[in-house]
Amino acid sequence: MYRNALFLSFAISASVLAAPTLPRHADLDLHTARQLADAGLAQCTAALTVLDRGGNLLLSLRADGVGPHNSIASQRKAYTALSTKTPTRLFAERARNNPEAANLNSLPELLLLGGGVPLFADTELVGALGIAGAGGAEQDEACAVKAANQLGLTITP
């Protein structure tokens, strides 16, 4: 009997010390980033960047003939979309209409210009895609949206 009580005591202690159940999150991987890049470059000639849900660079490409400044712009657009969970063209429009948001342009990581989109799998943010150099903010965004949709990702939760 003492032995059973001791065993039960150890079993209870072990369950109390067990690791907590942490949430699991979907995340973009390099394979998916390459598919996004192929889909994006099939839509337009531009520079593009894919970030994972943590803001880590997965992929950055620049098509032939696209200015080198567009590589940095695409990364900043992707980061802005990821951190705000909002397409950058919409975020820029909201910022222009809100005097309290005027200083957002002073943050070097953000770029308030269309072409960056957050990427959602169902309702979960999984990363972001930034495109620059396709001919303007509207064209950059359209290219990013088409690439995301082609892979079954959305830009809103």
* 14 pLDDT above the threshold of 80: no
Confidence (pTM) = 0.85
Whole-angstrom CA distances from 56 to 27, 62, 79, 80 are: 11, 18, 9, 13
pLDDT in tens, 35-84: 999 999 999 999 999 999 999 999 999 999 999 999 999 999 999 999 99
Q: pLDDT at position 7, please? A: 61
User: CA–CA separation, 70 vs 23, rounded Å?
Assistant: 36
Mean pLDDT, residues 137-150: 98
Element (H, E) at 119: strand 116-121
All domains of the chain, ordered by start, with CATH?
Answer: 23-150 (3.30.450.150)
Of 38 and 104, the structure prediction assigns the larger pLDDT to 38
